[in-house]
Structure formats: structure tokens, C-alpha cells
Amino acid sequence: MENKYMASGQAEKKNYAKRDLYALAFEMISTAIRHNFPLQAIAVEESIMSDRIWSALNASKTNGGSKETLGRALEEWKRLLKGGNPHPIGEEAEAMRKDLANWWDSRNKLIHGIVKSFRGEEPKVSATIFERSAMKSAIKGYELARRICNWSKTQIRKAKKGGVK
């Protein structure tokens, strides 16, 4: 949901409903990690990251992309960083994008590889290693989601003031 603005010159209305959903989402992540349900945490983290990245990418109005998947957001983010276009993503964004791409790759391997094996062969990953990797990814995802939320706020503010120079 996009923020709605009052008449020209007036302060921006706060989107309390979205704030409340973000508080709920982070509580769900914390609860899932605390109770050893890392895949639930990872699913919510991915939703948060995708939403915040698309908001930052769309903030300057130079990109009309819709809010799609996290994978598509990473592709668009990389394209914008390489393009040299004036955009509110900042120079520090490349390191964060790489961290997120690594997390997303780890997430994909977890989600799609939990029971992978060839007929008659042992699974590629034991249950113990899977659980450990999933929890590590959930914790890293929580940290990244917080980092991306903070970064996104900064980028959106910069775009409203005229973009990154």
C-alpha cells in the first residue's frame, strides 16, 4: 500500500496499517526462530525484503516496476546499479545487494533441496545439517530484513528530497 499525501505543502499521512503489519511480521519471524521453525521465518523475511526493495527502487519514479518477487527485485537492483542512472539506491547498495543475493541463493537451496536425492541414493543433505542451515539462514534473513528496512527508509527520504547526487 502506498502512502497517501495531503494537499500540497502539508505533511505526509502516516501509514499506520502498514506499520502494524510490519510489527506483526517481525514478531512472527522472532517467534518462528525462537520455536525452531526457520522456514516460516524465511518466508516472512522474503516478503519484507521484496516489499522494501521495490519501494526503494520505485521511490524516484525512474522505475515503474511493479512489486514482484525478490528474485526480480534483485535483477532490477543490479541493472540499476550497473546503469549509472541517478537513482536513490546509493553507492552502499551494492554490498547489501550481494549479501541479499547470497542469502536468497541459500534460501533457494534450502527450500528446493530439503528432500532431494536420486532414486536409491542417500539425500544430499542430512536432516541435522538441513536444520542447522535453515536456522542460520533464518537468523541471517532477520538481520538482512532489518537492514533493508532501514536502508529503504533512507533511500525513500532521499528520493523525496530530489534523489541521490
pLDDT digits (tens, 9 = 90+) for 113-133: 887 777 888 887 888 999 999
Q: Global pTM?
A: 0.80
pLDDT at residue 114, rounded to an integer: 81
C-beta separation of 52 from 148 below 8 A: yes
C-beta separation of 149 from 52 below 8 A: yes
Helix (H, G, I), strand (E, B) or coil at 10: coil
Query: What is the distance between the alpha carbons of residues 34 and 29, in angstroms, rounded to a whole number?
Result: 8
Residue-wise pLDDT tens digits, 49-105: 999 988 888 876 555 566 678 888 888 877 777 766 555 565 667 788 889 999 999
Domain assignment present for 131: yes
Q: CB neighbours (10 Å) of residue 68?
A: 12
Domain assignment present for 135: yes
Query: What is the distance between the alpha carbons of residues 20 and 28, in angstroms, rounded to a whole number?
Result: 12
Domain containing 156: what range?
A: 92-165
pLDDT at residue 165, rounded to an integer: 42
Number of domains in the chain: 1
DSSP assignment of 22-55, as one string?
HHHHHHHHHHHHHTT-HHHHHHHHHHHHHHHHHH
Domain assignment present for 36: no
Higher pLDDT, 16 or 86: 16
Domain assignment present for 68: no
Domain assignment present for 10: no
Query: What is the distance between the alpha carbons of residues 82 and 98, in angstroms, rounded to a whole number?
Result: 13
